[in-house]
Amino acid sequence: MTDASLAALGWSDSFATQLDAGEIEATPPARLCDVHRDRVQAMTPGGEITLTLPGNIPVGDLAVGDWVLVDPDENRVVRALEPRSVLRRRAAGTVLMHQLIAANVDTLIIVTSCNADFNPARLERYLTLAASSDTEPLIVLTKGDLVDNADDYVRQAEALSPHVSAITLDARDPAALDLLSPWLKPGATAALVGSSGVGKSTILNGLTEENSETQGNRKGDNKGRHTTTARSLRPTRSGAWLIDTPGMRSLGMSESGDGIDRVFSDLTELATTCKFSDCAHQSEPGCAIQAAILAGEVDADRFQRWEKLLAEDRYNSETPSEARARKRGFTKKVKASVQGKRGRQG
């Protein structure tokens, strides 16, 4: 097994430095392309193989795109290597848990369309997902041929964060897909995310020459039906790798403070110039953000979305003890308010 053949699968020095001498020969690396409940599929320079998992590696700890070391005699995973990047979201439920989406992704391709699906709040969540994992974001706008102002959508998308690029393309045109080539170089890995019905499957089919199921939008609401049901790693015509993901109806924030700060870096930096360090950016004197909103330099809606994401992230990131402390504090405030009202009435 050569470094060159592994590099074609996305191998890099960051993984090689995690191996001891001779380990790469005794337990050769493989890259996960499908993750199931009781087994995983992996890509090797020799082709795709099926692997079983030992009892000390829960399937929930693995994601499509991960690199693992393999016992070649038993086709069993020995251990997983530390990933360069991990895309994850808060799992549903009241217990703080995370669901892995993909690992070792270089570019997060966020697909939306030039119609009612274009939702700044949802796009900012995807951008936060990318920023939290040190993954480059790219917004791809489809169905630009159906509107007269596709360039306006590009400007709106790029205005969401100083760190995002946006392009528009016709997903049905193979030549237009060449616009993605700077992000799909040999050995690179990209993940496709976005709502159903915006052209993800069409883009996937064009880039991989596969024939994934595609469905159009439902009549009346421009919303699509979910067609992708599982994540998988697929080779592209350019030699890059593409991870398709199911349309995600929710993308909860948790432990994403750094990502939010990067997406809204302009607001984060502006907040440091407020008169008071604990400024809530509402009606406090000397608030730099409110002054910028009044001057037309900051969009009020974007500011409110920033505040909402920060509040959600704080709430979802609380430990049980922090949640109890917050509830006790809230109860004390309510009691103090009630007592104050009674005192004034008396």
Backbone conformation region of residue 219, classed left if phi is above 0, alpha if psi is from -120 to 50, else beta: beta
pLDDT, one tens digit per residue, over 79-90 is: 999 999 999 887
pLDDT in the model for residue 243: 95
Q: CATH 3.40.50.300 occupies which residues in the chain?
A: 86-244
- Return d(Cα 175, Cα 274) in angstroms, integer: 49
Which one, of 57, 46, 47, 51, lies nearest residue 34 by Cα?
51
- The percent of residues above 90 in pLDDT, for the chain, comes to 66
Q: Where are the beta strands (DSSP E) in 158-296?
A: 165-168, 189-194, 232-235, 241-244
Query: Per-residue pLDDT for 217 more than 50?
Result: no
Largest Cα separation within the chain, whole Å, is 85
User: Dihedral of CA 224/227/233/239: which sign?
Assistant: negative
> Partners of 244 in the beta sheet?
192, 232
Tally helices (H) and strands (E) across the chain: 11, 13
Q: Which helix (H) or strand (E) holds 131?
A: helix 120-132
**Three-class SS of residue 235?**
strand
Please report which confidence band the pLDDT of residue 225 belongs to, taking 50, 70 and 90 as the band edges.
Answer: very low
Task: For domain 3-80, say whether CATH 2.40.50.140 is its number.
Answer: yes
Count Cβ neighbours within 10 Å for each residue of 107-146 and write b for 16 or more, e otherwise.
bbbbbbbbbebbebebbbbbbbbbbbbebbbbbbbbbbee
- Are 127 and 160 in contact by the 8 Å Cβ rule? The answer is yes
Residue with tokens 């809606």: 301
Decide which of 3.40.50.300, 1.10.3720.10, 3.30.450.20, 3.40.50.2020 is the CATH code for 86-244.
Answer: 3.40.50.300
Backbone conformation region of residue 83, classed left if phi is above 0, alpha if psi is from -120 to 50, else beta: beta
pLDDT mean over 136-153: 94
DSSP for 174-209, written as a single string: TTGGGGGGGG--TT-EEEEEE-TTSSHHHHHHHHH-
pLDDT mean over 117-144: 95
Q: How many CB atoms lie within 10 A of CB 268?
A: 14
Please report which confidence band the pLDDT of residue 57 belongs to, taking 50, 70 and 90 as the band edges.
Answer: very high
Query: Per-residue pLDDT for 91 more than 80?
Result: no
Decide which of 1.20.1050.140, 1.10.40.50, 3.20.20.100, 2.70.70.10 is the CATH code for 257-340.
Answer: 1.10.40.50
pLDDT, one tens digit per residue, over 160-196 is: 998 899 999 998 888 889 999 999 999 999 999 998 8
Query: Per-residue pLDDT for 291 more than 70?
Result: yes
pLDDT in the model for residue 40: 96
Residue with tokens 């274009």: 118
pLDDT mean over 145-152: 91
Query: Per-residue pLDDT for 213 more than 70?
Result: no
Q: CATH 2.40.50.140 occupies which residues in the chain?
A: 3-80
Please report which confidence band the pLDDT of residue 212 belongs to, taking 50, 70 and 90 as the band edges.
Answer: low
- Are 85 and 104 in contact by the 8 Å Cβ rule? The answer is yes
pTM value is 0.84
- Return d(Cα 102, Cα 243) in angstroms, integer: 8
Q: CATH 1.10.40.50 occupies which residues in the chain?
A: 257-340
- At 1, the amino acid letter reads M
Average pLDDT, the chain: 86
Please report which confidence band the pLDDT of residue 138 belongs to, taking 50, 70 and 90 as the band edges.
Answer: very high
